[in-house]
Amino acid sequence: MKAVFLDSQTFSSNIVFTAIEQQVTQLSCYPTTTVEQLFERCQGVDIVITNKVILTAAMLAKLPQLKLICIAATGFNNVDIEAASKHNIAVTNVSGYAGNSVAQYVLAQMLEYYQQTCHHNTNTQHGHWQKSETFCYHGNAITELAGKTLGIVGYGSLGQAVAKLAQAFGMTILISERPSSDNVRQGRVSFEHVVAQADILSLHCPQTASTENLINADVLTKMKPTAMLINTARGALINSTDLLTALHNKQIAYAVLDVLEQEPPKADHPLLLALQEGALDNLKITAHIAWASSEAQQRLINLLAENIAAFNLGERLNRLDSKT
């Protein structure tokens, strides 16, 4: 079984692929793969591993030897699943690898905002404490997380992992019902109620037709002016133009984004330009790294290997294709 990894650079350099190598006879890894390079690299291989490289129906029709596509992610919008089934190509994905990493990221961003850690470190570096007339130098106010209300939109494994850590800090957890739902399940509250009550609103839901632009001008006006918004899910959940306006007008206090609509984003993305120009002091953007602790990345690779091992044994593990 010959395998090719089309975009191995989506993983850190310290991640090892030994588990995958043990399941195949040959593994060829390419840091990135363009559309023009795709056919040549996939031709004659049995297994294609892709994180974000797109495999269309037209491309799959040209690869009669291909037996298995391993998506190195949970989302699978980059592979034509129906076409793969038509050509008897198995497709797998992975999930459940990033709960600790995403939860740690979300809590770290909350703690930085409410604890003002960097600000207080900088005060000492700049000599303010040394010149103080009292034993401490206060600077920006520190606020406890205990008693704060965390609203979670999307209560899968990631949302649950965030809730678990937040509860340890004494926070009140509100779990949002699906925004489009007419019924509110036990243990959840309406999306509108979560938006209005949350001190921190954390997004963990998938991107679908019903969740695109979920956070828009109307929703932002209903949030507390002291609220913090965190998005580690998908960039398209938030209308960037509306968020930019809300941050400028202080309709909400702060936003942390780990994702944008297009990744990597264009240099002229309005939110990135606002940051670079110093126009906003209430926005932080990171480069889609909430999932990417070393441990989570290695777990993902090991799960890919388990998918391949199961396929080799004729078993269905994490299969997405419609073949039975």
Give the Cα separation of 281 and 168 in Å (integer). 29
Residues 46 and 126 in one domain: no
The residue annotated as part of the active site, out of 144, 192, 263, 315, is 263
pLDDT along the chain (324 residues), means of 10: 97 97 98 97 97 97 97 92 96 95 98 94 94 93 97 96 98 94 93 98 92 96 98 96 97 98 94 93 97 98 98 95 58
Please indicate, yes or no, whether residues 219 and 119 belong to a single structural domain of this protein: yes
**Residue 31 burial (C-beta neighbours within 10 Å; 0-12, 13-18, 19+):** exposed
Is 192 among the catalytic positions?
no
Residues 204, 187 share a domain:
yes
Residues 82 and 148 in one domain: no
Residue 257 falls within a domain, yes or no? yes
Separation of alpha carbons 163 and 157, rounded Å = 10
Of the candidates 36, 23, 28, the residue with the CA atom closest to the CA atom of residue 7: 28
What distance in Å separates the CA atoms of residue 65 and residue 43, rounded to the nearest whole number? 8
Residue of 120, 188, 288, 299 marked active site? 288
Active site residue 288: yes
**82 an active-site residue?**
no
Nearest CA to 316 out of 51, 26, 93, 43 is that of: 93
The answer to the question of residue 320 being in a domain is no
Other CB atoms closer than 10 Å to residue 145's CB: what's the count?
19
Q: Are both 156 and 15 inside the same structural domain?
A: no
157 and 112, same domain (yes or no): yes
127 with 252, same domain: the answer is yes
Q: How many residues does the chain have?
A: 324
Number of domains composing the chain:
2
Q: Are residues 92 and 157 in the same domain?
A: no
**322 belongs to a structural domain:** no
Residue 321 lies in a domain: no
User: What are the E-state strand segments in 164-240?
Assistant: 172-175, 200-203, 228-231
Q: Give the whole-angstrom CA distance, residue 173 versus residue 147.
A: 10
Number of neighbouring beta carbons within 10 Å of residue 305: 19
Q: Please give the residue range of the domain that contains residue 28.
A: 2-97+294-312
290 neighbors 101 (Cβ within 8 angstroms) = yes
For residues 110 and 26, state if they share a domain. Answer: no
What are the angstrom distances between the C-alpha of 16 and each of 50, 70, 97, 149, 304?
A: 16, 17, 16, 40, 12
Contacts of 26 (CB under 8 A, 6+ apart): 2, 3
76 with 111, same domain: the answer is no
Q: Which helix (H) or strand (E) holds 237?
A: none
pTM exceeds 0.85, yes or no: yes
Instruction: Quote the tokens at residue 166.
Output: 């937040």
**Predicted pLDDT at 98:** 95
Are 11 and 92 members of one domain?
A: yes
Residue 322 pLDDT: 64
Are 12 and 131 part of one and the same domain? no
Which residue among the candidates 120, 234, 269, 299 is catalytic per the annotation? 234
